[in-house]
Structure 1
Amino acid sequence: MAVTDLFAQRATLGRSVRLLAEFRHEQPDPARFYGALAADTAGMVTDLWQATHADNPSGQTLVDVGGGPGYFATAFTDAGWHYIGVEPDPSEMHAAEQTRRAGPGTFVRASGMALPFADGSVDVCLSSNVAEHVPQPWQLGAEMLRVTRPGGLAILSYTVWLGPFGGHEMGLTHYLGGARAAARYTRKHGRPPKNNYGSSLFAVSAADGLNWAAGTGALVAAFPRYHPRWAWWLTSAPRIREFLVSNLVLVLRPPIPQK
């Protein structure tokens, strides 16, 4: 069975519409938005795992790189995973402590650029919407692959810069250029954006990720995270994918050594 076979059944137009509707709640009601995203992500990762493994994820270790305040912890624990969130930002870690009082999961303060885990020690390493926030996204990817055991899954999902959400809270002004969009946002709001171009937001293309992943020899699937299955062909369309893929998922599986 191909790694995406189960998730493809979930990737319907109805799902895409529901997720898009939730995006409007990101700023006013982050718990609602990230709760819905967490449940969808846990379903996606579980589908990807079960498509290539005979067992369910019960007790399998999942490391969430850039886990933030812990919204994903409950969703993954409910799905049977042993969840470990990794977060470098002290303020996000404090928020995680507040979340953890009412929820499960283990949280570690560390950088995704140097994960504090042994080689091949985790079953799944996930990074959801982090790669566009670091200056060296493929060092992050390499670390994820390093800690994932042979036969496990490294799942790196990120926002494509030229897609409609590439500018994050700067909206579509990122099409004017990242620096110009950031300056415009600062003038309008009296403060720089949280996701500030050049310091906490970087232009990462779909081609960048696909080229890096192909070079690892571990790539088993690539698809647009929020699109229905019938639109996944966009990933293989140069130029068009930069504007229409929006969020690219790279699924990598370190090979099992031959005996």
Structure 2
Amino acid sequence: MASFPELPALRRLATLGRSWGLLSDFKYEQTRPDIFYGNLALDTSSLVAALSEDISGAGLNDLKVLDVGGGPGYFAEAFETLGATYFSVEPDVGEMSAAGIDVHGSVRGSGLDLPFLPDSFDVVYSSNVAEHVSAPWELGEEMLRVTRSGGLAILSYTIWLGPFGGHETGLWEHYVGGEFARDRYTKKHGHPPKNVFGESLFNVSCREGLEWGASVGNAELVAAFPRYHPYWVWWMVKVPVLREFAVSNLVLVFKKH
């Protein structure tokens, strides 16, 4: 596996306290999305700014940032506070308006066919979207297409065999099978889960992401690490089998040629 930079700014953020705080917020995802996504937005903007500082030598001030799968708009204020010009694209109009947040740069569209010209953005990122599309690497290719030369593309996704691979269907049920987890949730709650296996939730592995990242021709894979873990366990990404169960969420960072 390739050797990646030390990422000092990001390491300062990647503490055990941060990991525990994000994990504690997970219980609010369905009942209090303002808490869950509000804190996640602050964490995500800080993570992206740290990556920009480590790789490009500067933060997000005056940069055009595209959020692929921006959802109901919790992330806009967090990025604009750091000086970025924020844009988002989201396919579901209901999801865009769910929180009642007006995002002036929000566009309805698919991550698999982004409605932007090539080389349009300084930073393009997607958080927890790739596992919800049937062609995750096509999503990655589209993100790279609209990233300018020298810019960053950051793809973060949930690994199926990690503890949160089944999303709201449970912590162990998806290990039996995606269909089992879906059907058990439906029987228990009287309605299907928000993330339906085979339709809006898919089995995406850590290995597949790393292999795709290494094969990209128009950008360099400059970093790969667990999204929510403290820096001193980032080494798990390098260990086959273990990484599928322990990494939970993989971040792939590219610098466009």
Distance 1:51 1:192, change over 3 A: same
The within-5 A match list for 1:186-205 is 186-205=186-205
Partner residue, 2:240: 238
CA distance in 2, matches of 1:68, 1:230: 31
Q: Deviations over 1:79-102 (max 9, x none)?
A: 111000100002112336x211xx
TM norm structure 2: 0.94
d(CA) in 2 for partners of 1:231, 1:78 = 30
Give the Å deviation of 1:127: 0.4
Shift of 1:3: 7.0
Question: What amino acid is the match of 2:239?
Answer: A
Q: Is the 8 A contact 2:50 2:59 kept in 1?
A: no
After TM superposition, the runs of 4+ consecutive aligned structure 1 residues lying more than 4 A away are none
Aligned-partner Cα distance in 2 for 1:207–1:63: 26
Query: 1:7 touches 1:44 (CA, 8 Å); kept in 2?
Result: yes
RMSD: 1.4
Identity among equivalent pairs (%): 56
- Per the TM alignment, residue 68 of structure 1 is displaced from its structure 2 partner at its CA by 0.4
Partners of 2:26 and 2:210 lie apart in 1 by 26
User: How much does 1:77 deviate?
Assistant: 0.7
Alignment of 1:10-89 (within 5 A): 10-89=13-92
Q: In structure 2, what is the Cα distance between the partners aligned to 1:195 and 1:73?
A: 24
Structure 2 distance, partners of 1:148, 1:238, is 30
- Residue deviations 1:177-199, cap 9 Å, x none? 00111111111111111100000
Please state if 1:92 is matched with 2:91.
no
Compute the TM-score of the two structures, normalised by the length of structure 1. Answer: 0.94
The equivalent of 2:154 in structure 1 is 155
Asked if 1:170 is matched to 2:172, the reply is no
Which deviations, in whole Å up to 9, do the C-alpha atoms of 1:113-163 show, x marking residues without a partner? 011111111001110000000000000000001110111100000000000
Aligned residues: 251
Mapped to 2, the partners of 1:55 and 1:237 lie a distance apart of 32
Q: Which moved more, 1:25-34 or 1:224-233?
A: 25-34
Counterpart of 2:124 in structure 1 is 125
1:2 Cα deviation (Å)?
A: 3.3
